[in-house]
């Protein structure tokens, strides 16, 4: 859909045949898929990126399977695309050069939860909600909570540096990664980082791997920091006539010294998608804030009053407190499904996840509206207002609208960078945002990052065609 760089060439059959024969011996044929009909579902993720059907899929069950796969791939010169749960929004797990998809979903053990050290050790295929449940049963808390929490896995969270609604108060995945076991193309296994909160020995390579979108190596185990579980959570929602009132309320809440754990914004178009999911929301509301405060009872009571005052001062139509867990879960379920619900509003949609300094959110919404009117493209926005991270959606029905949609998105990217924001807050660059990276980053900075990748992956076989424009890999 975007004007993407030229597609990467497929992997030559002779290379694939060699890799298959090596893998049959080292990993075992029972863990390898090779029929196109079995491999087809690994050609896509939850984005609009179009990939190729992989030649082979390895269903890794251990760190040794990962090591053996990366050794065979380098020997046979076959590209490898690591994959966790496939919920990515920018095509990171989409194999654009075919080759091998290295699936890690069978590596789904929570190896350890240490209540003394406040540490969890997990494999990359663990579904995030399973980790949440396991640590919360111990009175502990792992804050990162992308809205795909029920379906995404830790390997993908690390590779994308996933955020989520709780990032405003608690930070993103990077803030909880202490150490990683990672294997490089060719099979060299490295232990990065550490198990302690403090530690400054050598370069922070664990930090570099977080958010590297599977382009440097494959993670087989991660050591994560936990914190005590907050005693209580209160959920409120404020209804406003217009988006700018909701964004002013965000400022007013923060100015009162409250740091809510979530400050989620929904504009009128996105509210419509929520209503269509059967959640009754006042028809006069043109924007909503979903707010959560947590802590002990007195802190929650105090913060809830301040949030209510701030919303009322701005002229909220209504401020409601979720009366029980059922009401709270219903609202969150609707919020978490919003991305999929918006798909029902038009034949096509593209969602961007830009960030601006929080003080510029109203400016961003105005710019999106202005660009939408100029290019005659339907837009709507929702997202993590506390972080200034909005998911701006572009909707269209007919193919001849595509050039206008592209212009509209590019105009927004330029506006975001001019406001000193960034083109991606949590979804990564993947395939879909490659054309926009040069809007934000200089040629020199992109060149340095390419050189960093070369150090880890000199043959360019590790998830090629992601983050940076590439027209070849050494397997072709
Ligand atoms: C409805 C919906 C809501 C979402 N909400 C949010 C949100 O609120 N916040 C947010 O941040 N994201 C969100 N996402 C995006 C997505 O869920 C996250 O990016 C998530 O972290 C991806 O995890 P995954 O397991 O699906 O990874 P995949 O899609 O399988 O892979 C993502 C990337 O990780 C790499 N990778 C996977 N495993 C490994 C490994 N073991 N080693 C090295 N690299 C690896 C892949 O190559 C790819 O580049 C949402 C997605 C959906 C569909």
Compute the distance between CA of residue 306 and CA of residue 298 in angstroms, rounded to an integer. 12
User: Distance between CA atoms of 157 and 145, rounded to whole angstroms?
Assistant: 10
Domain map (residue ranges) of the chain: 110-228, 232-339, 346-439
Q: Which fold has domain 110-228?
A: 3.30.465
- Ligand 1 centroid distance, CA of 174 (Å): 14
Residue in the structure block whose two tokens are 């990564």? 428
Please indicate whether residue 426, judged by its CB atom, sits closer than 6 Å to ligand 1: yes
- 426 token code pair: 């949590």
Look at the block and give the residue holding tokens 């990748």: 453
Least reliable range by pLDDT among 144-148, 270-274, 306-310, 391-395: 270-274
Contact 331, 322 (CB under 8 A): yes
CATH ID of 346-439, from 3.40.50.620, 3.20.20.140, 3.30.70.2740, 3.20.20.370: 3.30.70.2740
Three-state secondary-structure class, residue 352: strand
Predicted local confidence at residue 6, as pLDDT: 59
As given in the structure block, the two tokens for residue 360 are 């510029």
Q: Which atom of ligand 1 is nearest to the CA of 163?
A: 11
Is residue 4 pLDDT above 60, yes or no? no
Task: Kindly report the number of other CB atoms within 10 A of residue 141's CB atom.
Answer: 17
Q: What is the pLDDT of residue 475?
A: 64
Sheet with 32-33, strands from edge to edge, namely 32-33, 56-59, 100-103, 80-83
The residue-averaged pLDDT of 93-110 equals: 97
Output the CA–CA distances (angstroms, integers) from residue 296 to 78, 144, 322, in the order listed.
54, 20, 18
Region 272-297: mean pLDDT is 91
pTM: 0.95
Tokens standing for 408?
Answer: 């509209």
Residue 336: what pLDDT?
80
Pocket of ligand 1 contains residue 211 by CB under 6 Å: no
Ligand 1 contact via 146 beta carbon (within 6 Å): yes
Using 50, 70 and 90 to split pLDDT, how confident is the model at 276? confident
Q: Is 124 in the pocket of ligand 1 (CB under 6 A)?
A: yes
For ligand 1, atom 34, name the residue with the nearest CA: 156
State the distance from the centre of ligand 1 to the C-alpha of 157, rounded, in angstroms: 5
Model confidence band, residue 449 (pLDDT cutoffs 50, 70, 90): very high
89 lines ligand 1 (CB under 6 A): yes
Q: What is the pLDDT of residue 367?
A: 97
Does any ligand 1 atom lie closer than 6 A to the CB of residue 219? yes
Rounded mean pLDDT of 273-298?
A: 91
- Mutation choice for ligand 1 from 159, 185, 340, 466, CB with most ligand atoms inside 8 A: 159
Model confidence at 330, in pLDDT bands (50, 70, 90)? confident
In this predicted structure, the answer to whether residue 423 has a pLDDT above a threshold of 90 is yes
Judge if the beta carbon of residue 475 lies within 6 A of ligand 1.
no
Query: Quick one: which of 45, 56, 67 has its CA closest to 20?
Result: 56
152 lines ligand 1 (CB under 6 A): yes
- Which atom of ligand 1 approaches the CA of 162 most closely? 11
Q: Which two tokens stand for residue 240?
A: 């406003």
Q: Per-residue pLDDT for 1 more than 70? A: no
Write out the two tokens for 171: 């930070």
CA pair distance 118, 336, nearest whole angstrom: 28
Question: Is residue 389 lining ligand 1, measured as CB closer than 6 Å?
Answer: no
Classify residue 215 as exposed, middle or buried by CB count within 10 Å of its CB (0-12, 13-18, 19+). Answer: buried
| pLDDT at res. 329 | 85
The Cα 401–Cα 313 span in angstroms is: 42
Q: How far is the CA of 216 from the centre of ligand 1 (A)?
A: 16
Q: How many whole angstroms separate alpha carbon 154 and alpha carbon 173?
A: 9
pLDDT at 473: 67
The string of DSSP codes covering 247-284 is: HHHHHHHHHTT---SEEEEEEHHHHHHHHHTT----TT
**pLDDT recorded at residue 476:** 59
Average pLDDT for the chain: 94
CATH of range 232-339; options 3.40.640.10, 3.50.50.60, 3.30.70.2190, 1.10.260.40: 3.30.70.2190
Q: Is 183 in the pocket of ligand 1 (CB under 6 A)?
A: no
What's the CA gap between 113 and 121, in Å, rounded? 7
Q: Average pLDDT of 254-261? A: 95
Q: What is the pLDDT of residue 429?
A: 97
Tell which residue, 194, 344, 362, has the closest CA to residue 269.
344
User: Do 232-339 and 346-439 agree at the fold level?
Assistant: yes
Distance of CA 108 to CAs 111, 129, 191, 210, 335, Å?
9, 12, 19, 19, 27
**Above pLDDT 70, what percent of the chain?**
97
- Interval between CA 249 and ligand 1 midpoint (Å): 31
Whether residue 2 has pLDDT greater than 60: no
Question: Could you tell me the distance, in angstroms and rounded to a whole number, from the CA of residue 284 to the centre of ligand 1?
Answer: 36
Residue carrying the six token digits 């020995």: 201
How much is the pLDDT for 38? 98
Average the pLDDT over 230-243 and give the result: 95
Contact present, 97 and 8 (Cβ < 8 Å): yes
| 122 phi, psi to nearest 5 deg | -135, 160
Does residue 338 line the site of ligand 1, with CB under 6 A? Answer: no
Q: Which residues contact 13 (CB under 8 A, 6 or more apart)?
A: none
Interval 17-75: pLDDT, tens:
999 999 999 999 999 999 999 999 999 999 989 889 999 999 999 999 999 999 999 99
For the beta sheet containing 232-240, the strands, ordered from the edge strand earlier in sequence to the opposite edge, are 318-321, 232-240, 287-295, 262-267, 378-384, 389-396, 348-355
- Asked if pLDDT for residue 3 goes beyond 60, the answer is no
Nearest to 86 by CA among 143, 36, 41, 144: 41
| CA-proximal residue: ligand 1, atom 2 (nearest) | 148
Distance from chain centroid for Cα 251: 25
Residues 152, 145: Cα–Cα separation, whole Å: 10
Q: In angstroms, what is the span from residue 142 Cα to ligand 1's centroid? A: 17
Q: Which residues pair with 239 in a beta bridge?
A: 288, 318
């Amino acid at each position: 859909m975007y004007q993407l760089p030229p597609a990467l060439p497929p992997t030559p059959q002779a290379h694939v045949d060699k890799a298959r024969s090596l893998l049959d011996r080292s990993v075992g044929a029972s863990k390898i898929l090779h029929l196109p009909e079995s491999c087809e579902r690994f050609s896509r993720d939850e984005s609009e990126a179009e990939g190729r059907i992989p030649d082979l899929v390895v269903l890794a069950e251990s760190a040794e399977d990962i090591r053996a796969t990366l050794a065979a791939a380098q020997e046979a010169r076959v590209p490898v695309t690591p994959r966790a749960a496939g919920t990515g929004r920018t095509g990171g797990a989409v194999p654009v050069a075919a080759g091998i998809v290295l699936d890690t979903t069978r590596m789904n053990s929570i190896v350890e939860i240490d209540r003394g050290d406040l540490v969890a050790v997990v494999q990359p295929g663990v579904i995030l909600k399973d980790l949440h449940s396991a640590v919360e049963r111990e009175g502990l808390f792992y804050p990162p909570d992308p809205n795909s929490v029920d379906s995404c896995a830790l390997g993908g969270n690390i590779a994308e540096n996933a955020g989520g609604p709780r990032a405003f108060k608690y930070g993103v995945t990077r803030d909880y990664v202490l150490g990683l076991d990672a294997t490089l193309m060719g099979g060299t296994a490295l232990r990065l980082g550490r198990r302690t909160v403090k530690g400054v020995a050598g370069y922070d390579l664990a930090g570099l791997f977080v958010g590297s979108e599977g382009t440097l190596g494959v993670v087989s185990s991660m050591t994560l920091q936990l914190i005590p579980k907050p005693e209580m959570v209160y959920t409120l929602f404020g209804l406003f006539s217009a988006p700018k009132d909701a964004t002013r309320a965000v400022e007013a809440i923060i100015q009162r010294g409250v740091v809510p754990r979530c400050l989620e914004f929904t504009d009128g178009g996105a509210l419509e998608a929520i209503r269509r999911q059967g959640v009754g929301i006042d028809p006069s509301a043109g924007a909503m804030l979903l707010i959560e405060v947590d802590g002990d009872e007195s802190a929650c009571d105090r913060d809830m009053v301040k949030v209510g005052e701030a919303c009322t001062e701005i002229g909220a139509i209504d401020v409601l407190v979720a009366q029980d867990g059922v009401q709270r879960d219903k609202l969150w379920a609707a919020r978490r499904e919003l991305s999929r619900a918006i798909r029902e509003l038009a034949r096509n949609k593209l969602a961007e996840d830009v960030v601006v300094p929080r003080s510029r959110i109203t400016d961003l919404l105005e710019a999106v509206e202005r660009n939408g009117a100029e290019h005659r493209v339907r837009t709507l926005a929702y997202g993590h207002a506390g972080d200034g991270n909005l998911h701006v959606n572009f909707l269209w029905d007919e193919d001849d609208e595509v050039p206008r949609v592209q212009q509209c998105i590019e105009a927004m990217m330029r506006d975001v960078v001019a406001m000193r924001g960034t083109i991606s807050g949590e979804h990564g660059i993947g395939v879909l945002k490659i054309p926009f990276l040069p809007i934000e980053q200089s040629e020199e900075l992109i060149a340095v990052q390419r050189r960093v990748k070369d150090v880890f992956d000199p043959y360019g076989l590790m998830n090629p065609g992601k983050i940076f424009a590439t027209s070849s890999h050494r397997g072709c």
